[in-house]
Each structure stands twice: as C-alpha cells, then as structure tokens.
Amino acid sequence: MVIGRVYPGASTIHTVHDDLTRVVVEKVRDGSLVILVPTLEVKLVRETLGTFITWSTHLIRSILKIN
C-alpha cells in the first residue's frame, strides 16, 4: 500500500490512459511491489517516495485523518 496525495487540479493523464491520475507518494508500506506504469527511473513502489507518478484512478481511496 502507498499513501500519497492527489493535488486539487491535478489532471488525468489522457495521453497514456483515461484511468490514470498524477499523484505524489508520501508513505510506502510495501516497497517491493511493481508500479502500474513504470519508467526508466522508477519500477518499484519503494523508488516512488516523494515523487510524482501516474496511479490508476480506480485504486485511489480517500483517507480521512482526524486529529
């Protein structure tokens, strides 16, 4: 699992596929998983920390943090 942020106004990446959204990864729980859209620099989830990547929109879930 990855915890990240979809920024307001972040666009869907239509040139690749309509079901992909740009996100930034903030926390990685299982770094050994292969990401859906690998690049030359990033292939595993552990390599995505702090970077913008494409993520499948149907796999994004909202997490509410209550202080």
Report whether 12 contacts 21 (CB < 8 A). Answer: yes
67 domain-assigned: no
Structural domain including 32 reads 2-59
pLDDT class for 43, splitting at 50, 70, 90?
very high
Contacts of 4 (CB under 8 A, 6+ apart): 23, 24, 25, 26, 27, 55
In a domain, 18, yes or no: yes
Answer whether residue 22 is part of any domain.
Answer: yes
- Would 16 be classed as within a structural domain? yes
66 within some domain? no
Residue 65 maps to a domain: no
Query: Does 64 map to a domain?
Result: no
Q: How many domains does the chain have?
A: 1
pTM for the model stands at: 0.65
Mean pLDDT computed over 4-32: 70
